[in-house]
Structure formats: C-alpha cells, structure tokens
Amino acid sequence: MHSRGQALIESCIVIGLICLLLTGLFQLAQLFMNQEILDYAAGRGARAKAVGFNDFMVSKTVRIGAIANAGALLVPERTGGGPWVQWTHHESPRIPHYLQSDSWEVDAILNYAQWDSIWWSCQEADNQLSFRVSQDVPLMFFSNVFKAFFSASTVPMQGAADIENHYPLYLQ
C-alpha cells in the first residue's frame, strides 16, 4: 500500500529527470550547431588564405564566419529592438567596414564577447591548404550539472576545411 504523497514525490523525480534529459538534448543540439559554424568559418578562412590574403585579413574573415559562435555583441552597443532589428540595422552593415579596417580600429567597429576564444591554424603542403578553426565553446545549459561529465564549463571544438592552394601560381 502506498503512503500518502508517494506518487507526488515519484512524479517530481521523474519530471526532474525528464527535464535533465531535455536540457542535455538542447545542449547537444547547441554543440552540433557550434560545430557546423566552426566548419563554415574554417571554409571561409581556407578560401581567404587560398586567394592570397594576409594573416590579418584571414583572421577577420574567420571571425566574421564565426559570428554565430561569438556570444554577446559588445560593439556596437545594443540600442533596442529585437534581434532582427539589431542585425539588420547595426551589425550587418558593419561587416564590410570591419573587413576593410586596419588593426587599430577593428574592435571599435564590431566586437563580440567570445571572439577571443576563436583561433585558427593553417598548414600548406603540395598545393593543399589544411585549415583549422578552434574554439572552447561554453556550455549554455546547466553548466554546473555538465561539469559531472566535463572538467570545465567549455568544450574544445574544431572546424576543418581542406582546399587546393592556387595563389602561389598567380602571385609570383
């Protein structure tokens, strides 16, 4: 015979476990999205390197390709309106200006909280570029719970792109 309230306690435990499971699924979906964005940023960086851009321009291209992984917008400051208004009126128009800027002015044009956690490397061999973009992606949902599975509140991730390297043929 069940004592009074036992069903309520069992229901709370089950609901808690289901919520934890759903949160884990949301976290996995977020990590999958982060992986796709890093692969895209690696492709953009590889293309920039393959056409002969210098390392500073490649870095800016990788950053623009990884905007969706970059976290909160720092510059320009948010002025109101929804995300679509912010993107179409404040962020998107600054991208060409950011790409054309010099090193001393880039952070005053466009900057995100997580841009410093994104880095890239490129190896060239036999007319082939092997481009990698890495980031320590922060866990967004219940990071303290996921510390039981990971030693930190971030997950190291890497995007990759391999492309033929033709710029030395044209820029001799």
Catalogue all structural domains in the chain, each as residue range(s) with its CATH number. 32-71+113-170 (3.30.1300)
Residue 135, beta-bridge partner list:
118, 157
CB 133 within 8 A of CB 158: yes
CB 160 within 8 A of CB 42: yes
**Residue stretches of the chain with pLDDT short of 50:** none
Confidence at residue 67, expressed as pLDDT on a 0 to 100 scale: 94
Confidence at residue 129, expressed as pLDDT on a 0 to 100 scale: 93
Confidence at residue 132, expressed as pLDDT on a 0 to 100 scale: 98
Burial of 75 (0-12, 13-18, 19+ CB in 10 A): middle
Q: If we measure between CA atoms, which residue out of 120, 109, 117 comes closest to residue 49?
A: 120
Confidence at residue 66, expressed as pLDDT on a 0 to 100 scale: 96
pTM for the complete prediction?
A: 0.85
Confidence at residue 86, expressed as pLDDT on a 0 to 100 scale: 66
Confidence at residue 47, expressed as pLDDT on a 0 to 100 scale: 94
Confidence at residue 87, expressed as pLDDT on a 0 to 100 scale: 67
